[in-house]
Structure 1
Amino acid sequence: MPRKPPSMKPYALGAGVAAAAGLLAFASYTATKPADREATGSSAAAPAFAAGSAPASAATEEGARSEPGEPARRDARDALAVGRADAPVVLIQYADFACGYCGKFARDTEPALVEKYVEKGVLRIEWRNFPIFGEESEGAARAAWAAGQQGRFREFHRAAYAEDAKEKGFGKDRLAALAREAGVPDLARFTRDLDSAAARRAVERDQEEGYGLGVASTPSFLVNGAPIAGAQPLETFTAAIDVAAAEAGR
C-alpha cells in the first residue's frame, strides 16, 4: 500500500479562489507491476481527487499564468516539464519511478502525446515527483530533479522507465549509471545535487501538492484540472485533451 507522508500541510487557497471545485471521485490504480495487475484483474479505489485545491502559480517569463486554483505551474524555467508554458492544455502527472504502470504510460502513451499535441503547441506536460515506495523511490525522484538541473530530465526519465529498468532498483550506483545513460554532463554535480536540500525541497513540494489534491496512488493525472486514473489507453488521454483544447478555443 502507498505510504502516507509524515505530515500533510494543508494548502491555503488565495483570496477569491472559489471553494466550488469540490471533490471529483475516481477509481485509481495501485502502482504495482503490470503483470500483477493483469493477473488479478483488480484495481484499488483512491480517495477523492480534489482538482483545483492547490494555489495558483505566479506569472512566468513568457507571461502565462495559471488560473486561480489550477495546480499547473506554467513556469517556463521548469526543467521537468515539456511543452510551451502558454499551451492551452496542461497535463500534470504524479508518478513514481518504481511504479510499473507509470513506466507503461511513459513507454506506450506519452511519446504519442508529445508527437500529437506537445510538438504542435497544444499540450504541456508537467511532471510531479510523487515517490511512495520508500527510500529508493525518493532517491530516484531526487536524481530526476538533479538530472533536470543539467537539462537532462527527459533523458533520465526515458532511461529510468525503460523496459525492466525498475527491476534493477534505484540504489546510488544505479542512479549514477542512469545519469551516465542519460548523458548528464557533470556527474560530480549530479551527485551533489541528488543529495542536496534543494532536491529534497523540490520533491517535498510535489508530494505536498499531490497529497493536498487527494492523490493516493500512481500514476495520477490532471488534464486542465480533470482527473484521469492510472495508465489508461491512449484514447482516454486524447479524448480528454481534445475536450480541454476545444474548451480553450483550440
Structure 2
Amino acid sequence: MADPRTPTASRPWVLPAVVVAVLTLVLLVAVAWSSDGDAPAAPGAGPGTTATAPEDADPGDAPTDVQGPAEVDTAAVERRDPDDPLTDGPVDAPVVLVVFSDYQCPFCAQWSQETLPEMREHAAAGDLRIEYRDVNVFGEASERAARASYAAALQDEFWTYHEALYPEGETRSEDELSEQALTDLAAELGLDVEQFTRDLGSAGTADAVAANEQLGLDLGAYSTPAFLIGGRPIVGAQPTQVFRDAFDTALAASRG
C-alpha cells in the first residue's frame, strides 16, 4: 500500500469518479449562485443536521491535480464573517482561501504541515483570509475533533489546537480523538478545560460544525482536502507552488 505521506507531486494519478462529481457539482453550484445570488439549499440541510456523502464516495481518494479552470461565484462560500473563529487574516483581505478538511485525513495533515504556514504568512500580511471548514468524511472521530477545534477556537486558540491535532504533519489515531483525549489535549495546551468541555458538548458548537460540513458536501467535497482560492477550485494536497501561483494570480486579479 502506498505511503500516504508520499508527496502528491510524485504520485501517478488517474481521475477518480469522485473528482468528476466534484467538478460537476461545482459547476452546478456556480450556475445556481450566479442565477439567483443565493446558495442552493441541500435537502435536510440546516442547524444540527448531519451531512452524508454518497455511498460510492471514497474518503481515501486523494486526487493529485488541479481541477479547473472552472470558477464559482463565491459569495455564499467566502463568508467573511468577522465573528467566525475558524479563520486567519483580515475580513476584507483581497483573496480568500476556503479549506475543506478532515482531522483523520493524512493528506490534510500533509498540507497543513507543508503549505499552510506560507498561506498564514500572507494572512499576516493582510493579503489573504483563510476560512476552515471541516467536512468530516471519515466519520465520528473526525466530527469530535472538529468540535474540539471549534471549542478551542472559542478561546482564540484554533490554530494552536489545529496544529496539535496534526503532530509533525501526521494524523492522530481514533483513540487520540476520543472526547477524553481531546479534553486532555486542551489541558496540555493551557486552555480553560471547564469552558472547553462545556463548548465541546454544546448545541452551538455541534450546529456550527454541521453547517460547515454541509457547506463542503454541498460543493461536492467528498474527498479531502479540497480548496477554493480566489474562487478557483483545487483538489488534493498539491505542492505549495500550486497554492503560491493560485494566490499570486488571485491577488493580481483583485488589484485589476
Task: Provide Cα deviations, 1:8-63, integer angstroms capped at 9, x if missing partner.
Answer: xxxxxxxxxxxxxxxxxxxxxxxx9335989984564421341646747xxxxxxx
Aligned to 1:226: 232
Question: Quick check: 1:129 aligned with 2:125?
Answer: no
Q: Which has more helix, going by share of residues?
A: 2
CA contact (8 A) 1:70 1:225 kept: no
In structure 1, how many angstroms separate the alpha carbons of the residues matched to 2:238 and 2:225? 10
Question: Quick check: 1:78 aligned with 2:84?
Answer: yes
Q: Which of 92, 97, 122 is matched with 2:103 structurally? A: 97
Q: Residues 136 and 238 (structure 1 numbering): CA distance in 2 closer, same or farther, change over 3 Å?
A: same
Matches within 5 A, 1:134-213: 134-163=139-168, 164-167=170-173, 169-184=176-191, 186-213=192-219
Question: Quick check: 1:34 aligned with 2:5?
Answer: yes
CA contact (8 A) 2:109 2:171 kept: no
One-letter code aligned to 1:34: R
Moved more, 32-41 or 80-89: 32-41
Aligned to 1:61: none
Aligned to 2:113: 107
Report how many residues are paired. Answer: 207
Matches within 5 A, 1:54-65: 55=38
In structure 1, how many angstroms separate the alpha carbons of the residues matched to 2:137 and 2:81? 25
Please report the RMSD computed on the Cα atoms of aligned residues, expressed in angstroms.
Answer: 2.5
Q: Which has the higher contact order (CA 8 A, sep 6+)?
A: 2
Aligned to 1:7: none
Q: Residues 37 and 72 (structure 1 numbering): CA distance in 2 closer, same or farther, change over 3 Å?
A: closer
SS of the residue 2:22 aligns to:
coil
Aligned to 1:248: 254
In structure 1, how many angstroms separate the alpha carbons of the residues matched to 2:75 and 2:123? 23
SS of the residue 2:190 aligns to:
coil
Which segments of structure 1 move beyond 3 Å, counting only runs of 4 or more? 35-45, 51-56, 67-70
Task: Provide Cα deviations, 1:54-94, integer angstroms capped at 9, x if missing partner.
Answer: 747xxxxxxxxxx7744101111211100000000000001
Q: Residues 37 and 86 (structure 1 numbering): CA distance in 2 closer, same or farther, change over 3 Å?
A: closer
Deviation at 1:207, TM superposition (A): 1.2
Deviation at 1:132, TM superposition (A): 1.1
In structure 1, how many angstroms separate the alpha carbons of the residues matched to 2:177 and 2:6? 20
Which blocks of at least 5 consecutive residues in structure 2 are unaligned?
40-72
In structure 1, how many angstroms separate the alpha carbons of the residues matched to 2:8 and 2:252? 34
Instruction: Among all aligned residue pairs of Structure 1 and Structure 2, give the percentage whose two residues are the same amino acid.
Output: 37
TM-score by structure 2 length? 0.73
Deviation at 1:137, TM superposition (A): 0.7
